[in-house]
Structure 1
Amino acid sequence: MRSPLRLYGRDGELASLETLLARLRAGRGGALVLTAPPGLGRSALLRHAMDSYREGPVLYAAAAPAEQLLPHSGLHQLLSSAPDPLPAPPSATAPPSATADVLRPGLAPTALALLDLLRTLGARRPLLVCVDDAHAWDRDSRAALGFAARRLTPGLKVAVLVTVLAPVARHPAGGQDAFGGLPALRLGPLDDHASATLLDRLTDGRADPAVREELCREAAGNPRILTGAAERLTPDQLAGRAPLPRPLPGAESVLEAYAALLDALPDDTRLLLLFAAAAQEHEPHGTGADAVLLLRAGQAAGLDPGCLEPAERAGAVHDDGVRVRFTHPLLRTALLRRTPLARRRAVHHLLAGLLDGPHRTLPRLVQRACAAHRYDPALAEALARAATAPRPHADRAVALARSALLSCDDALRGARFAAAAEHAWLGGDPGRARDLLAQVRVVPAPGHVHYVRGLLALRDGPVADAREALLTAAALLAPHDAGRTVDALLGAADAAWAMGDAPAFLDAMGRIPLPLPRPDPALEAYRAGMCAVLGGRGEQGRALLRGCLPPAAGGDAPAGGDTPTSSHAPAGGDAPAALLRTGVAALVLGEIEAACRAGARALAAVRAHGPESLLPQALEHLAYGELRAGRHARARVHASEGLRAAHRLGQRNKAAHLRAVLALVASVEGGAAAAAEHAEAAAADAGPHGLAQAATLATWAVARADLAEGRPAEAAARLFPLVRPGPLRGHFAARMPAVPCLVEAAVLAGRAAEAAAAVEEFERWTAATADPQAPAQLARCRALLAPPHETAARYQEALAHHARAGGGFEGARTQLLYGQWLRRQRRTREARGPLRDALVAFERCGARVWAGRAAGELRAAGEAVAGDAGTGPLARLTPQQQRIARCVAQGATNREVALRLSVSPRTVDHHLRNVFAVLGVRSRIELARLLDRDEKNPL
């Protein structure tokens, strides 16, 4: 048995096909032309339509290119597929046989005869006509079918579905002109998610994630190339233990089809396109070729300056006057594959001669390397010497990879591949970095290889694996590369921090050799201070960490923060890595504003100077600092940008951390559904990759959203395991910031006694930190746990701290709890002031769900809220009855309503009876229906 055909990433196209078939089933005719470049699945969609249609006969033909010059051969093949004998002519006055006229052309106008035949067949039962690759039919058959398809009025029960090759971005293939005027649907390449899902199915999930990413990129969304590669790659290649061949195996038919699309262009045009394809060898991926260089190459080859225009008109390339880019990457791949090696080398040699001047040394050497025969140690050495700053990392990766290919010594070859992989990673191309590492054949692998593997795993893989790889790299690099040894150990500490493993963090930091190979007082202070803080020597550690901050910043005390970072950038206080360490030190000290300033400077440095690989981390650090400062909208903007960068750069671990930050923002701005969505996405990688910090932040976010929507019991159940000792304990740097939420949830859920130990630990943390919100949050926690005669004073103390520290959201939460307590104490008039202030503050900072909670409390205190409806069933209820009615209509039990509103279950029962009496309902179901009708029809 064969499993049914499954299509990925084609929801829109499948919907269009289903619309056509639904019209046919309803007795209405129509037509649709599917166009796509080679390999994108035109035939698969056609087969899907045929398999889906079972209500009538299907005529099907696939073009036979060998018969393209035989007139009417296509129609003959189509009509020969009829399942039943073709009908006789409709009347005696008609020609001897309209059907025979079609099969034996020349006796009557073929197009009219075909239309007559389709009408006759459709009169019996709805008829589906399918032609695959109609562009390869003979001209007469195409013209006849197009003529008939344009005359399929809604009354005719015939649908025509045609696939046509559309090779380039804007212009149709030669065979599509016959179908002009018909509805057309152009297929695009699969997106990244659909490509990855298809590849997982084809390989049964055996492809290494990095290999899968590289295959998807090389295939450029082409499902036929992915299918061919999955069938022909070896297990070692799929697992990443062997390099991928170029071009990918199984892509031959697609590349041949793309190359054939260029065959119709003039010879001079194809030669200039070859220059453009060869010129991209020394350019970063996707940037195109230098238009001035192509002009000079054309002049050197005696070509007319306007010979590129036919390629532009055909849509093969786009020339903006600065760069010349192929409209599809497979056009370039196909052109290079079709060209003989000797001709390609001659083109590279010509380009190398045109790249003159000292500023073009590296591109010139790359072109010479492309033209070289096998090994050339001298040229390899020249490439390695030229691959230095200030050249971009992507350019240096290209040069070092070429240098490795020209090196005959295996050890030197492996070292240069490793160096190329590092620069590819720094330049934001982890797939290329992994591919280069797979070409290292030295056993055992040198320390540089382990170093790059560790960096890759740190951003996209289990962080425990990253830590081990980086520790191994440090041991191997120590005798001859002190700088990378320090970087490897800082990276291992990064991994331990993400894991939430403080002893492992101290172990990695403790291995950093002193004195440092490059004098760096700030790094030494950072190392010693972090070790002291996590080793229990808080005062000493805080004093040391102050040495990492600019003179204007100071502070003391450990607070939760983001991950430390290794120094992948050049040394110096303005280097991105150094600035990121400054931000981490500020967060640990509780200097939130200093952390935000350092994060902003680090982001500016990365954008100005690179490396690209640090962009998601810089945005993550800045977003977390802004989140701690209460600037949620800014944190959301930076975290969203960071998430896009992390996905683009293949850094799933950073994406998980950024998702956790977005979940925390959503718990303030967007509500439980948005917070849960982000938290679930964060957990998808946080669990398998061991990201304890991201998991802790995501859980905290969902719990805070539960609190906002009046579910304290659920919030407490999520937060208690994070704070208590045990296997589920949260990340050591993120536990304390979550304690105020835990205390609030525990008290509202009736579990106040269980939160006392957490408050004691939070008190010690507050005494050490410089976080301006901590004293206010501690006073709020004490107010929640205090006896009634002390509660008001504790709340007043908390509000005084908030007034000095700022931070509208945390202050509003204290106002809300204070007003709620006053109302519960039957001090309703006094409660309105704090509740009103809380509502305004929540609205000002965009916390709409929290604003809704404050508005509900204010209504219960007897004050109308702007926007309350003046009519409808609820207008007859008191504010407290309205709140209880809404909660019950949502499905809450009396006990759950009591917890949400801080009243007793007996009070809820009393008010609910009155609600039933006033509204004239007899059950909770009737109440829910009444409120639902009122919301849908408020007038």
Structure 2
Amino acid sequence: MTGKTTVNLPLRIYGRSAELDAVAALSDRLRAGHGGALLLVAEPGLGRTALLARAARDFAAGTGPRPGSAAPADCRPPLAGGPALLRAVAGRIDAVPLHRLCAPVGAGPGGAGPGGGAGPGAGPVDPSALLGGFAGGPLLLCADDVHRWDAASRAALGVAARRAPGHPRAVGFLLSAAEHRADDPGLRGVPVVRLGPLEDGPATALLDALTGEDADPSVRDELLYEAEGNPALLTALVARLSPDQLRGHRPLPRPLADAAVLLGTVGDRLAALPADTRLLLLLAAAAHAADPDPDAVGADAAQVLGAARRAGLDPAALDPAETEGVARSDGGRITFGGTLLRRAAYDSEPSSRRRAAHALLASSVDAERHRLLHLLHRAAAADGPDARLAAELVAAAAPGTPTSGTERTAALARAAGLTAPGNARTTRLTDAAEYARQAGRPRRARELLAGTRDAAAHDAVRGRAELVRGALALRDGPVGDAYEALLMAAARLDPYDRERALAARTEAMGAAWAAGDVAACLAALAPESGPAFPVRVPESGAAGVPESGSVREHQLPARGHQLPARGHPLPARGPAFPPDPLSDYRAGLRTALRGDLPAAREPLRRVLERARDDDDPARLLRAGVAALVLGDAGAACHANARALAVARSRGLAALTPQVLEHLAYAELRAGQHARARAHAQEGLRAAHRAGQRNVAAHQHAILAMIASVEEDAAAVAAQAGAALAVARPHGLVQAATLAEWASARADLCRGRAGEAAARLGPLTRPGPHRGHFAVRMLALPCFVEAAALSGEPAHARAAVEEFAVWAAQGCDPQAPAQLARCRALIAVPEEADALYALALVRHEWAGGDFERARTQLLYGMWLRRRRRPGEARSRLRDARVAFERCGAPAWAEQARAELRAAGEAPAPAPAGASPVARLTPQQLRIARCVAEGATNREVAARLCVSPRTVDHHLRNVFALLGVRSRTELARLVDRAEKG
């Protein structure tokens, strides 16, 4: 047993829907009696050969290729080059409906290696012979790696492929070539289909198939990231790992994609190059590796060529690499044909040659003008610890120097690599990780933190590493893990760094808030007994613990307590410090979470007042939270908008997604749906760029809420599903509650009150394992409406009484109007009229077009059922206009349908409108239920009517729509819903 994972699955095609459709179109054309041609081009490992094999099998079977079908495990013996093709044409190919042709590297007699001839005695191929030699039915010729054919055969093949569409016989050519040879003169004019890297979904599906879905989630992420969408590389990486490594029981090898794996994917293109060319490519790859900018395009050509001259290389050595498409020089930069080629050019060389390359580059960089880059190359050339060079790197990246966050990350990471194990090394790795996190590079931050697990490091140093680790998990990982890491950080930092300890506890409160755990929030917000005096942490000859990459010495008081040995009691605490900047925020939230909102107002108002002219985005975010707790959505919008302006101006890549999330939510609460949508969409893109899946899940939940106002049920389901896909495994109860609430509101809009009540019931009941504590009261009016309309007034009454207590505290300006509406829904007829009127008056005070329109709609529906159609039409018209004004077309359509039921003449249906538009609201509800597969009894139970009523309406629906079966009805309703 080798301990490696055996990958022995039938070859499958994952993704590639557009490419498969193009091949299927070619096959269909051939079966229709017409010729055609396609040229598939791709970088190594992206699946050209697999796609050809799949096309060959499917054409032979008389089917078109479709995603997900297996390709054959073996192929016919390959034929090499144009002469072999001509021999096949002259032979019995007329009796074979399909053939596959390959030209492997270093082909034998009659074949051609790269740039080789056609073999002994082979003459040029006649294109007419290629086409004229075929007889019989449709034929698809699949030729792989045609860029390796000799020039004459390749040109003849190109001519034949170009002539095929107009040829009288149904002959098709499906060719493949390397990406860098796509513009070969002999192949010009043949339609090209390019294969790029696999997208995340297909790559994940391939990985699951390779591993039997048995890989640890963190290992899966590592493999997908390392493979960069290259299926061949992904397969090789899985084969390299043992089952224990795949399951996360043993550490992964580093680097994950070693030289052997990379060379196995793209190495043949490098191996064919001259030695001087490979050395020059090593210099270019080393220059890129030392560049602190992770998004840099290529390497500086002047620096690379300068180092090449010092090594005695002619710059013309780059020419063979350009000819083969491995690298090119353009605009002062040398760029590789792909990241895998660059990685292979660097990692395949021995470490001694890599260090020599960096030494050459360091000597070619102006040390005065580009000090940091010069130091980075010197560090990469070092073969062991170098305290002096490490200190130079730290100084070059210190705050106040003209360096960016990514440059400081690179400098501190290199400095850590030159530092002996101990406090100084762990501190530098932690600082580098924090800069990477702030720059929106969480994966790099985690890589750096992996080196900080040093049991010998001091608690103050380890506490800072846990703080960064917890902050990363809070935005991309299970929030329960983040909570524990942040509390551990706080406990370790308490005696030495009060400011960071408080920051850790506040972040832990954020994790508990996202998880909907009030007790955990209160534990994180608990007041401290007082901090210890700050002390100097010894660092094996280095300076004190740095703050954000700088050296900050923690001075002792006059008595000079020394840091105690681990396990010994700490010195006595000194007098309490003055109130910390977070004191009002923490005290206000703590009081509010205990249910005493009146007492929480004063400290939270002070938080708002201090932030009025503030330019610190973290404090502005806290002010936004305070404003929402106080029920002032306008102030929350203002604070978060100011935080966004600051974050954008400072380029805070890690903070910007969170700021956009807070701003979009505040705008949602304020009823500014269009603004909330714009900011949530921007925040979603920013969260994906920064690798913050938890923030992205919240943005999806916000977009689901907006879609429940502005779009249809399908849009709500898509956004809610995306939110729940992350929220459930990561414990994001707030995002999950918002997503479920949005789905319930979409149900209400479609007249499915029973489903909405069933969805909202568990979320709005008090107690643990329910909906989020900060959302359930906001969603309670929806539950009351759903319960009342679905015939469950008892459940609605209990919820109304709880909502009344909350509304009295003044935390939501919409609550008084919503309370009157809720009471109207469960009131006796003699009282309901006055309660609806009261709700409308209160809406005038609170504003909010959407909620007021919902009250008008419910009031109109109630009036219609009380046989007061004239008054009902007035209210329903107001509701329809208000819904249209606030951009809620689905709700406006519901109001329009109720108007028709109240006797209003329907507007003429637009040309081409679906006949479903002629149905009454009740008929439409029944038709939708039937279209979903419900029986008459199930429809009756869902809509709280009798089966006889359902039967009566269904007969009318069949007559109005002119359908004869439930299947026809389902198709018609489905087309209408999608149109």
Instruction: Give me the TM-score of the superposition, normalised by structure 1.
Output: 0.83
Counterpart CA distance in 1 for 2:798 and 2:840 is 23
Gapped regions of structure 2 (runs ≥ 5): 1-6, 63-71, 96-108, 112-117, 535-576
Within a 5 Å distance, the mapping from 1:189-208 to structure 2 comes to: 189-208=197-216
Q: What are the Cα deviations for residues 102-131 of structure 1, in whole angstroms up to 9, with x where unaligned?
A: 99989896423x7537644x3145444333
Structure 1 counterpart SS, 2:609: coil
CA distance in 1: counterparts of 2:110 and 2:603, whole angstroms: 92
Kindly tell me: are residues 4 and 345 of structure 1, through their superposed partners in 2, closer, same or farther at Cα, counting changes over 3 Å? closer
Alignment of 1:250 onto 2:261: yes
Aligned-partner Cα distance in 2 for 1:727–1:782: 27
Q: In structure 2, the residue corresponding to 1:53 is in which secondary structure?
A: helix
Structure 1 residue 708 displacement after superposition? 0.8
**2:46 counterpart residue number:** 40
Contact 2:900–2:906 (Cα < 8 Å) also in 1: yes
Q: Does structure 2 retain, via aligned residues, the 8 Å contact 1:401–1:417?
A: yes
Deviation at 1:829, TM superposition (A): 1.5
TM-superposed CA distance for 1:260, in Å, is: 5.6
Residue 528 of structure 1: how far off its partner (Å): 0.9
SS in 1 for 2:654: helix
Q: How many residues in Structure 1 have an aligned counterpart in Structure 2?
A: 885
* Structure 2 CA distance for partners of 1:418 and 1:664, relative to 1, 3 Å: same
Shift of 1:505: 1.1
Partner of 1:564: none
Aligned to 1:400: 412
Specify the alignment match of 2:344 in structure 1: 334
- Give the 3 Å change call, closer, same or farther, for CA 314–757 of structure 1 in structure 2: same
Give the distance between the partners of 1:448 and 1:625, measured in 2 at CA. 32
Cα displacement (A) at 1:591 = 1.1
- Partner of residue 591, structure 2: 532
**Structure 1 residue 382 corresponds to structure 2 residue 392:** yes
State the partner residue of 1:707: 748
User: Which residue in 2 is equivalent to 1:451?
Assistant: 467
Q: Which amino acid aligns with 1:549?
A: L
* 1:423-468 residue CA offsets vs partner (Å, 9 max, x unmatched): 2222211222222233345247833443333223222222112212
Instruction: Name the counterpart of 1:584.
Output: 625
Q: State how far apart, in whole Å, the 1-side matches of 2:27 and 2:974 are.
A: 38
Name the CA distance, whole Å, in 1 between partners of 2:299 and 2:913: 70
Alignment CA distance shift 1:574-1:514 (3 Å): farther
Rate the CA distance shift 1:378–1:678 in 2: closer, same or farther, 3 A.
same
Match of 1:763 in 2: 804
Question: Equivalents in 1 of 2:943, 2:877: separation in Å?
Answer: 17
Change (3 A) 1:76 1:315: closer
Distance 2:509 2:207 in 1: 35
Is the 2:304–2:361 contact (alpha carbons within 8 Å) kept by the matching residues of 1? no
Query: What is the alpha-carbon distance in structure 2 between the residues aligned to residue 194 and residue 872 of structure 1?
Result: 38
Matched, 1:480 2:496: yes
CA contact (8 A) 2:81 2:150 kept: yes
Q: Secondary structure at the match of 1:33?
A: strand
Q: Which amino acid is 2:261 matched to?
A: G
Residue 890 of structure 1, aligned match among 928, 941, 944: 928
- Provide Cα deviations, 1:829-886, integer angstroms capped at 9, x if missing partner: 12222211111110011111110111112222222354546999989x9x9x844444
Deviation, 1:6, is 1.0
* Distance in 2 (alpha carbons) for counterparts of 1:258 and 1:873: 59
Letter in 2 for 1:529: G
| SS of match in other structure, 1:9 | coil
SS in 1 for 2:46: coil
Give CA-to-partner distance per residue, 1:501-545, whole Å, 9 cap, x none.
111111112165646989775511011111111123332222222
Measured after TM superposition, the shift of residue 920 of structure 1 is 11
Whether the 8 Å contact between 2:161 and 2:173 is mirrored in structure 1 is: yes
Cα displacement (A) at 1:183: 2.5
Contact 1:710/1:900 (CA < 8 Å) preserved in 2? no
The match for 1:156 is 169
TM-aligned CA distance change 1:647 to 1:261, over 3 Å: farther
> Could you list the per-position Cα deviations for residues 277-305 of structure 1 after superposition, in whole angstroms to 9, with x for gaps in the alignment?
51552322122367596499479869999
Q: Which amino acid aligns with 1:463?
A: V
After superposition, give the CA deviation of every residue in 1:532-589 in whole Å (9 maximum; x if it has no partner).
1112333222222222112698xxxxxxxxxxxxxxxxxx943222211111111111
Deviations 1:862-919 (A, max 9, x none): 22354546999989x9x9x8444444443468899999999x7699689859958996
Moved more, 690-699 or 861-870: 861-870
AA matched with 1:188: G
Separation in 2, partners of 1:907, 1:822:
25
Note the 1:564-713 alignment, pairs <5 A.
573-713=614-754
Partner of 1:287: 296
**8 Å contact kept, 2:94–2:135:** no
1:230 aligns with 2:246: no
Native 8 Å contact 2:923 2:953 kept in 1: yes
User: Which segments of 5 or more consecutive residues in structure 1 lack a partner in the other structure?
Assistant: 64-72, 89-100, 554-571
**Residues 631, 900 of structure 1: alpha-carbon distance in 2 compared, 3 angstrom cutoff:** farther
Tell me, in whole angstroms, the C-alpha distance in 2 between the residues paired with 1:439 and 1:219: 23
2-side partners of 1:883 and 1:329: how far apart? 58
Q: Is the 8 A contact 2:301 2:334 kept in 1?
A: no
Q: Which amino acid in the other structure matches residue 391 of structure 2?
A: E
Q: Shift of residue 714 of structure 1? A: 1.0
2 CA distance for matches of 1:383 and 1:624?
42
After superposition, what is the alpha-carbon deviation per residue over 1:252-275, rounded to whole angstroms, capped at 9, x for unaligned? Answer: 1334245368769x96x9849935
Give TM-score scaled by structure 2 length.
0.80
Question: Deviation of residue 244 (structure 1)?
Answer: 3.1
**How far apart, CA to CA, are the structure 1 residues paired with 2:842 and 2:138?**
78
Counterpart residue type for residue 278 of structure 1 = A
> What is the aligned partner in structure 2 of residue 134 from structure 1?
146
Letter of the 1:219 counterpart:
A
Q: Which residue of 2 aligns with 1:98?
A: none
Match of 2:484 among 460, 463, 468: 468
- Name 1:548's counterpart in structure 2: 607
Report the CA distance shift for 1:775/1:316 in structure 2 as closer, same or farther (over 3 A). farther
CA distance in 1, matches of 2:697, 2:603: 31
Deviations, residues 317-357 of structure 1 (Å, cap 9, x unaligned)? 78886876545323432333466656654553454456557
Letter matched to residue 166 of structure 1: E
Q: Is the 1:242–1:438 Cα contact (8 Å) retained in structure 2? A: no
Cα pair distance change 1:211/1:935, threshold 3 Å = closer
Which 10-residue stretch deviates more, 458-467 or 20-29? 20-29
Cα pair distance change 1:204/1:405, threshold 3 Å: farther
Query: Contact 1:670/1:849 (CA < 8 Å) preserved in 2?
Result: yes
Tell me, in whole angstroms, the C-alpha distance in 2 between the residues paired with 1:361 and 1:308.
Answer: 28
SS of aligned partner of 1:32 = strand
* Distance in 2 between residues matched to 1:935 and 1:199, nearest whole Å: 38
CA distance in 2, matches of 1:933, 1:680: 20
Single out whichever of 856-865 and 696-705 deviates more from structure 2: 856-865
Q: In the alignment, what sits opposite 2:558?
A: none
Distance in 1 between residues matched to 2:725 and 2:414, nearest whole Å: 38
1:438 aligns with 2:438: no
Q: 1:444/1:750 Cα in 2 relative to 1: closer, same or farther (>3 Å)?
A: farther
1:782 corresponds to 2:791: no
Q: Distance in 1 between matches of 2:737 and 2:974?
A: 41
Matches of 1:434 and 1:304 in 2, distance apart? 41
Q: Is the 8 A contact 1:244 1:435 kept in 2?
A: no
Given that 1:671 and 1:849 are in contact with CA atoms closer than 8 Å, whether structure 2 keeps it comes out as yes
1:847 aligns with 2:888: yes
Preserved CA contact (<8 Å) 1:280 1:289 = no
Distance 1:183 1:377, change over 3 A: same
After superposing the two structures, state which structure 1 stretch, 842-851 or 593-602, moved more. Answer: 593-602
Taking the aligned partners of 1:917 and 1:255, their CA distance within structure 2 comes to 63
